[in-house]
Chains A and B, each alone.
Chain A
């Protein structure tokens, strides 16, 4: 059986500069091979700027690779027919770091969560908003929160709205791109346990992108290290990743702040 989602020798370049200065090409992804099985929970760690988020965006179909392919259930999404492309877009959802920027401030939480259901299931607005209520409850909000607007939520609550939206079209994979990085510690802990709960309950596959080894450690059954635009290693725990002795993982590990003061 083929993997749920697989990236094969994916390359992605960006042009930087221009207008006033000489342009240069940034070769961000340099041949990424990555497979995600049904129900997998894969952490993707690496430094800022190593290409983690670009990889996430390519896997979501938000960007096209310059070379290589992204396959969903073995079928190249660039060559798939409209029906299976729609199926891919429904099945692969995302939660971003910057929650304020990922919701429309004019819409209510119910409308935000309803949008993918209207798109993919052809529900009427009223119907979809009604269906958003149990989803909001599932992520620890109240059904009545569907009538509130983004400004009436805290950052952590809004991140829950985004998680509910990602779950709404019944996806098979959710990409979390630094989804808990800007939350304060108590809120972060709560959102992490929500994600763990969803993982155990629904058997979704995860791609959890983070620079913080501590966050990834308890959450993912596998961890991949990204460095220099490729997957440098993939192991079943952070511990095993550390044992590879790759300099990038050593750097990430050494940078973790201490658990308690000790000067």
Chain B
């Protein structure tokens, strides 16, 4: 296996004014090129905070109090805000849960492409770049989409446009925080297939946050299970589904299994 692209060690995150226990404590995980690491856990387990700490985007009132974040041989936790900004949108890209809130409603989709390319060393004509990027995520009619405003597109389409924007500069690492939670299963499958295809073609590492074990089963190579800000289990996805060791992992895998078993389609229909 190749050397990890991203290596997070002993990450701790605390609320600035908090005297209570840390929100994230001693969390370690890594992402290798061309592989998918999933952070899973119940709501409030610290999975989103852990992944937001990587590109230095922790929300206000919360700070990293310990640990190191190594990416492509550099320690991200020692970089200045300016240097981190350089990395975001070029080497590290992000996709969020709620596509509607990631677009500026008064700008067309085309303006978002133009702005992204202007901010991150865009070369060439933005229209051409946008068309190529949109095609990669399966959106053929680039002209119409660039003219449209965010509210005119469906959630699934916006999520794909967001992915196209994220992939513009050929990032080495994609951070995806619940990218399909707001989508129906059909749109979810399409977005996951797209991420998987890009990962394979470009050997891109993916850090995926999700609470849905269906998404884990579909995507993950390695899984890190979080509970109350602490890693309780770290396994390959195959092993985790076969023999979950920690009670929390077992409960999560069990709930997923039970959900899948509700749909009994034996006697070979469909599929």
Tell me whether A49 and B154 are in contact in the complex, defined as CB-CB below 8 angstroms, given that A185-B212, A217-B263, A257-B217 are known contacts: yes
The minimal Cβ–Cβ distance linking A121 to chain B, given in whole angstroms, is 35
Per-residue CB contact flags for chain A residues 148-178 toward chain B (1 = under 8 Å, else 0) read 0000001100000000000000000000000
Given contacts A254-B271, A261-B241, contact A48 B263 (CB under 8 A): no
**Is the beta-carbon distance between B258 and A189 smaller than 8 angstroms?**
yes
Q: Which one of B66-74, B81-89, B120-128, B181-189 contacts A?
A: B181-189
Is A234 interfacial (CB 8 A cutoff)?
no
Asked if A242 contacts B265 (CB within 8 A), the reply is yes
Contacts of B256 in A (CB 8 A): 185, 259
Chain B residues whose CB sits within 8 angstroms of the CB of A262 once the complex forms: 217, 238
CB contacts (< 8 Å) of B241 on chain A: these are: 260-261
CA distance A208 to B255 in the complex (A): 20
Which bucket holds chain A's interface residue count?
A: 35 or more
The one of B181, B186, B187, B262 in contact with A217, judged by C-beta atoms closer than 8 angstroms, is B262
Pair B218/A48 contact, Cβ less than 8 Å: no
Q: Could you mark each residue 236-264 of chain B with 1 if its beta carbon is under 8 Å from any beta carbon of chain A, else 0? A: 01100110000000011001111111111
Whether, in the assembled complex, B214 has its beta carbon less than 8 Å from a beta carbon of chain A, the answer is yes
Interface centre among B212, B256, B258, B262 (most CB of A within 10 A): B262
Residues of A within 8 A of B220 (CB): 261
Q: Which residues of B contact A187 (CB under 8 A)?
A: 42-43
Among candidates A48, A214, A259, residue contacting B184 with C-beta atoms closer than 8 Å? A48
Taken together as a complex, chains A and B put the C-alpha atoms of A155 and B211 apart, in Å, by: 14
Q: Which of A6-14, A124-132, A245-253 contacts B (4 or more CB under 8 A)?
A: A245-253
Could you say which residues of chain B place their CB within 8 Å of the CB of A217? 262-264
B257 closest partner in A (C-beta) = A259
Task: Give the Cβ gap from A244 to chain B, nearest Cβ, in Å.
Answer: 10
Q: Are A48 and B154 in contact (CB under 8 A)?
A: yes
CA A258 to CA B271, docked complex, whole Å: 11
Question: What CA separation (Å) do A17 and B211 show in the bound complex?
Answer: 36
Cβ of A188 under 8 Å from chain B: yes
* Chain A at the B interface: SS class: helix
List residues of chain A with CB within 8 A of the CB of B182. Answer: 182
Question: In chain B, residues 189-212, which have Cβ atoms closer than 8 Å to a Cβ of chain A?
Answer: 189, 192, 211-212
Cβ of B44 within 8 Å of any chain A Cβ, yes or no, is: yes
Q: Tell me, yes or no, whether B270 is within 8 Å of chain A by CB.
A: yes
CB distance B259 to A258 under 8 Å?
A: no
Expressed in whole angstroms, the Cα–Cα distance for A217 and B259 within the complex equals 9
Give the docked Cα–Cα distance between A256 and B155 (Å): 18
With both chains docked as a complex, state the minimum distance between the C-beta of B196 and any C-beta of chain A, in angstroms.
10
A184 to B200, CA, bound (A): 29
Determine if A86 is an interface residue (Cβ-Cβ < 8 Å): no
Chain B residue at minimum C-beta to C-beta distance from A239? B265
Query: CB distance B269 to A243 under 8 Å?
Result: yes
Please tell me if the beta carbons of A214 and B262 are within 8 angstroms of each other in the complex.
yes
Asked whether, in the complex, the Cβ of A261 is within 8 Å of the Cβ of B238, the reply is: yes
Asked if A215 is an interface residue, CB under 8 A from chain B, the answer is yes
Chain B residue contacts of A254, Cβ below 8 A: 189, 270-271
Q: Which of A49, A189, A255, A259 contacts B217 (CB 8 A)?
A: A259
Contacts of B260 in A (CB 8 A): 214, 256, 259
Q: Which residues of B contact A (CB under 8 A)?
A: 42-44, 152, 154-156, 181-189, 192, 211-218, 220, 237-238, 241-242, 251-252, 255-265, 267, 269-271
With contacts A211-B185, A257-B215 known, what are 12 further pairs, Cβ within 8 A?
A17-B152, A185-B212, A185-B213, A186-B255, A239-B267, A243-B270, A253-B270, A255-B188, A256-B214, A257-B218, A258-B217, A259-B217
A-B CB contact pairs (8 Å), 8 listed: A154-B43, A184-B43, A211-B186, A239-B264, A257-B185, A257-B212, A257-B215, A261-B237
